[in-house]
Structure formats: C-alpha cells, structure tokens
Structure 1
Amino acid sequence: MTTPSRLYPLLEQFDFARERLTNRMAGPVMDSGDGTDTKVGPMTDEEYLWEPVPDCWSVRRRVNGPGPQATLLAGTGDWGRDAASYPHPWPPPFTTIAWRLSHLSEMLTLRADHTAGAHALTRDDYPVIGDAAGAVTDFDAGAAAWRKALLRVDDEALDTVGHCTYPHGSDSEEPFIDIVWWVNQELLHHGAEIALLRDLYRARQH
C-alpha cells in the first residue's frame, strides 16, 4: 500500500518525537536541542517513580491501593495507574514520569489496536509497568504498533470519521487524520514534560 503523501509530514514528526523521547529516557546520548549530543544516563526506577510534590498521581503496586484523590488503579497486573471516576479531581493532581509514560504508552497501544487490530483492547487489559527499563521498552512497543497501524491507512481512511474506534477520545467524532495529528501532540507535550522532570530530578541531587 502506498502511504498517502499528506501523512508523510505527520509520520516524520512522530518519528522525531519518538526518537527524542526514547533517547532522553534511555541514553546514552540525547539531542540537547542545539544539534549536539549530550550524554545522559538511563532513567532509574527511583527517578521513574519520583514524586516531586505532595499528593502526586503515579503508578503503584496494586496491593497498596490508589494514591491521594485517586479512587482506582487502572490497568492490569501487579501495578496500576492512579485514576478516578468522573468527576475527576480539580485541579488535576501532579503526575510522575511513571504516570505520564504509562498514559502515553497505553494510548499508543490501544489506538493501534483500535485502528489495525482487534478493536477490542480496553484500559483494563493494559499492563502497567512498575520499573523504568520495562516502561521504556513498553513505550517503544506501543509506538512501533501505532506507526505500523498508520502505514496501513489510505487516503479514504484518513478522511473517515471513526476509522479508529479508540473509546477514550474524540475518535468517533473526527476524521482519522486529525486523530493522527492529536497523537503527535500527545507525544510531543508528554515527552517534553518527562524531559523536564528528568532535568528537575538531576538538579535536586546537586
């Protein structure tokens, strides 16, 4: 299948953001922003779970129950991600790297399934990862699945409202190309947040 020409810029943006975030989390070098490589160590478990302010939302061992203002732990497995039924707490709780990365990886994995898979995965099916190395690997798998799904769409699919049946967004209301754009924005802004938290964690040690 030939990739639609208007999808190419979005794929390039996605690839750039994905690579930059992965390198920022795993090292050994990252793009410093001025075109030069900067050495960076892999994210540690302590950093992944670091709570810089009181009452953070994070990922937690299921046996310990949800954190402050959370009413449930989303996902499956020994770990879960802090969540709450509507109405959500306001203002939104500050979230850790672990929470943000789990949210991002889940979104990529589920949207890939609801675009080119069984259209069946839910948040209850998604395994939440409790260690940094495993979470980075899981992010990479979700990103790869989403990109593979994008390579299977044609121009008609890009214009189709509801082509992706992901149940937790506006997918049923917007043409698929707008959803592709939105996923890129999620990756860009959560990637920037994770990078900033890494910087803050490093600065607190000096």
Structure 2
Amino acid sequence: MTAAPPRLVPLPAQFDFAGERLVRRLAGPVMDSGDGADARVEPLTDDEYFWEPVPGRWTVGRRADGPGPRAAFLAGAGPWGRDAAPFPHPWPPPVTTLAWRLSHLSQMLALRADHTAGSRSATREGHPVDGDAAGAIAAFETGAAAWRQALLGAEEAALDTVGYCAYPYGSDGEEPFLDIVWWVNQEVLHHGAEIALLRDLYRAARHP
C-alpha cells in the first residue's frame, strides 16, 4: 500500500480520534473523560435520541407526520426523514435534536465518500434516515468507515485538486481536496461536541 502523503497524515488521525470519541460518547460503555480516566457512559436510548431540548426544534420524524416548524420538507429516504428547508435556510437557525445532528453527520460522510471514491451518484434524497438510536449510531460508523477508506486512495496530487471530491451539496467543486478533508474533520468535531452537550442536558433534565 502506498504511504499517505505527509500533508494528509495528521488529518485522518484527527478524524479517527473524533469519530471514535463520538461513538464512545453515544454507545459506551466507557469513554475518555478528557483527563486521562475512563468514564462510564449509558448507551443512547431512543427516548434521548428524539429528546427535544426546546420548542420549535428540527428533528428526525416519521415521513407520514410531515416536516416540523419552519421546515419545508423531510430530507432522506425511507419512512423517516430529517427536517430541512431549501436555501436560504431559516434564520436564526432552529435548534436541532441529537437525532438531527447524528443523521446529518452520517449522511455527509456517506455521500462525500461516494463522491470521492465511489459511484459519485449518491443523493440526499436517496440516503436513508434512521428512526432509532442503534441504527443511527451504526449509520455513523458506516459513513465514517467509508470516508476513511476514501482518504486512503488520495495521493499527493489529489490534495491540491479542486473537485477531487464531487459532493454536490457543499463547496467541494471550488476547493482543493485537502481543504475538504479539513472541513469534514471540523464537522465531526463540532457536531460531536454539540451531541455531547445534548447528552449532558438530557441527563440533567432527567436528574436535576
């Protein structure tokens, strides 16, 4: 196997760390507390997956029930969908549930992987949305593994190639691939932090 370009090496390592930490925060049984000690984690339940921290939130819902407040449609495929709206999006943006954020991450990873090293045909409309916590965690792991595999095929020249990733829902067609890899990392890092905060808020709401 060809060695990864030196400029790329730190980014998959950071992605792996962020993805593993997020899965452990969701599934347990332990996670790195941040101070070097393992902390016990209760696995994500369906009740917490769908918990609504504020009124007017965006979430994942049954397609038969239609979109939520300020949403125009339910994105994705299957009996469940994720609240969405065409550009320009509502402002200020709606608060989103843990289910929404995890679904967003999984879809982004799976589609970017396909548009980098796959058929380059996957769409938001065709990507399934999970209606339960276990399925959503598995979908994230699958998407993360697919994106990681796509990175393994990137050679030095690819890093500076604009449009190497043909993902049609972002700036990928205008940015060098190395910038897209960085962007995906920050998506996992910042949405992972949001998910961790929602877990803290849910626990505090149930056990004040």
For this structure pair, what is the TM-score category when the shorter chain's length is used for normalisation?
A: over 0.9
Q: Distance in 2 between matches of 1:25 and 1:180?
A: 24
How far did residue 140 of structure 1 move?
0.1
Counterpart of 1:105?
Answer: 106
Aligned AA (2:90): P
- 2: distance between equivalents of 1:11 and 1:85? 32
State the shift of 1:88 in Å: 1.5
C-alpha deviation, 1:87, in angstroms = 2.5
Cross-structure match for 1:34: 35
Q: Residue 51 in 1 paired to residue 22 in 2?
A: no
- Residues 1:196 and 2:207 aligned together: no
Q: TM-score, normalised by structure 2?
A: 0.98
Aligned equivalents of 2:115 and 2:87: distance in 1?
24
Q: Which residue number in structure 1 is paired with residue 11 of structure 2?
A: 10
The aligned residue for residue 73 of structure 1 is 74
After TM superposition, give the deviation of residue 3 of structure 1 in Å.
Answer: 1.1
The 5 A counterparts of 1:154-169 are 154-169=155-170
CA deviation after TM superposition for structure 1 residue 194, in Å: 0.2
What does residue 89 of structure 2 align with? Answer: 88
Shift of 1:203: 0.8
1:204 counterpart SS class: helix
CA shift at 1:89, angstroms? 1.1
Aligned pairs, number: 206
Counterpart-to-counterpart distance in 1, 2:88 and 2:9: 39
Unmatched runs of 5 consecutive residues or more in structure 1: none
Q: Which residue is equivalent to 1:137?
A: 138
Percent sequence identity over aligned pairs: 70
Give the ranges of 4+ consecutive aligned residues of structure 1 lying more than 3 Å apart after TM superposition. Answer: none
Q: CA deviation at 1:85?
A: 1.6
Which residue of structure 2 aligns with residue 182 of structure 1?
Answer: 183
Residue 74 of structure 1, CA deviation: 0.3
**Cα offset, 1:2, TM superposition:** 2.3
SS state of the match for residue 9, structure 2? helix
The answer for the alignment partner of 2:61 in structure 1 is: 60
SS of the residue aligned with 2:206?
Answer: coil
Matched, 1:126 2:127: yes
Q: What displacement does 1:135 show? A: 0.2
Q: Secondary structure at the residue paired with 1:125? A: coil
Tell me the TM-score normalised to structure 1 length.
0.99
SS of the equivalent of 2:58 reads coil
Shift of 1:198: 0.3
**Cα deviations across residues 38-58 of structure 1 (Å, max 9, x unaligned)?**
001110001011001001000
Cα RMSD, aligned residues only: 0.6
> How far does residue 205 in structure 1 lie from its aligned partner after superposition?
1.2
